[in-house]
Structure 1
Amino acid sequence: MRIFRRRGEPAPRRPLRVIRADERAQTRRDGITTRHSFSYGDHYDPDNVAFGPLRAVNEECLDPGAGYDSHRHSDVEIITWVLDGVLAHEDSTGTRGVVRPGEVQHVSARAGVEHTERNASEHEPLRFLQMMVAPSEAELAAPDPGPPSYRQWDLQGARGYPLEVLQLREGVTLYAALLDPGDVVELPEDGLVHLQVTRGAVEGAGVALDTGDVVRASGRGPLAVRATTSSEILAWHFAPKEHD
């Protein structure tokens, strides 16, 4: 989504929070290093438990052959984005397969799902983001959440503009953008935006951001992002009704 302003018209200011890559909490276990953008597991920060309905953004780095044995999630939407390597996935819906860079996986674990995740390679490392979004209040209040569901698809997008990756529901959208140096994009103008640099370096709202850095913006006015190197960004947008 491109948003244009009149020539010379300044962008409205947005309240910002910047989280640098090396400020994220880390968990290490048996060939796995996880960097958390929110409170997660043993890492608790009462000021960093959620941003709108977003509850977790975990950067997972798995050694060759390493992985997570079967574990359960419920009442959460799980979105997986592979950065490097190949992720092998199997879950209690009977689905099994692999996820590669350029693909996105969405598991809706409303009623509960068990899954395993492993590095599919015995030789190459794996790095991926796993993001978790809470259901709406109406979905949580429903007497029957329905069975878990799974979907996965390739993304074939042009460079230089935000591509809508996934709309979980009205007002909850994930964007991705592949940017060449000097490319400028503007993310939606109202509500909340959670932006993570997954590759390269950009300037977001006048702040220099490197790989792994996060900026959270709230208020009105578009969030302008300019690439300083060849880059990739992921950005969640939450419309006002999702956080009022």
Structure 2
Amino acid sequence: MPSRVRRAGERYVTEGAGVRTLHSFSYGAHYDPDNVAFGPLVAINEEQVAPGGGYDAHRHTDVEIVTWVLEGALAHRDTTGHAGTIAPGVAQRLSAGEGAEHAELNASPTEPLRFVQMMLRSRHDAAPQYASAEVPEEPGLHPTVHVHADAELLVARPRADGPLEITGAAKVLVHVTRGEVVAEGVRLGPGDELRATDVERVLVAGDGEALVWRLPDPR
């Protein structure tokens, strides 16, 4: 099985006012021609936001933006008319389409916020759309929110009685969010990734949690 492991410490780092971002792929000022995408997936950014900090309204087009909160509460508003607070256990999607603005702020004046934000090339080219989905807390392999791309996002929380089996695809990416996960015999910690190509299945074990992208389209 062709695969590659990228460790958390290999991520590119951007420091801002009250925000520290860890990039799994080329992003912003960080450019590596060998690490610009994995199928339609073009960004996995871990955002570490100080109390009261965050990002004021900014614009995106032609991209799916999927957000998963790790710690704290994220105050989100966008030009679809949606505004609310996202906590751990909810997957959020903004399909920017022909153009959308959104703002993402730490909802707490005293507690830190950490979230993972992922971006994919989108097939949605009309008015922007918003969606969210609650994910069960128990162990298992859980579907999340639909995206307008040839991609499926799952949350994997392995069981103690055996590994989870993820159906293969042209590409599968496992991004660990907490604890320890063993994917295809490789031990992964928070921020580590396994990127596998042309696989029949991926086995995931351990006591942690991972975001798993199934990407049937190899492009």
Task: Report the TM-score when normalising by structure 1.
Answer: 0.85
Q: Determine which of 20, 23, 33 is the counterpart of 1:36.
A: 23
Which blocks of at least 5 consecutive residues in structure 2 are unaligned?
none
Question: How far is 1:179 from its partner?
Answer: 2.8
2:164 corresponding residue in structure 1: 185
Question: How far is 1:168 from its partner?
Answer: 2.0
Report % sequence identity: 45
2:185 counterpart of 1:206:
yes
2:33 corresponding residue in structure 1: 46
Q: Which amino acid aligns with 2:181?
A: V
Q: Determine which of 219, 223, 234 is the counterpart of 2:211.
A: 234
2:95/2:122 contact within 8 Å kept: no
1:94 corresponding residue in structure 2: 81
Runs of 4+ in structure 1 deviating by more than 3 angstroms, as ranges, are: 180-183
1:180/1:231 contact within 8 Å kept: no
2:45 corresponding residue in structure 1: 58
1:142 corresponding residue in structure 2: none
1:22 partner SS: helix
Question: Greater Rg, structure 1 or structure 2?
Answer: 1
Q: How many residues align?
A: 219
1:65/1:122 contact within 8 Å kept: yes
CA RMSD of aligned residues (A): 1.5
2:80 partner SS: coil
1:113 corresponding residue in structure 2: 100
**Cα 1:146–1:60, aligned 2, differ >3 Å: closer, same or farther?**
same
Question: How far is 1:225 from its partner?
Answer: 1.3
The answer to which of 169-178 and 33-42 deviates more is 169-178
1:104 corresponding residue in structure 2: 91
**Cα 1:91–1:231, aligned 2, differ >3 Å: closer, same or farther?**
same
Give me the whole-angstrom Cα distance separating, in 2, the residues matched to 1:58 and 1:170.
19
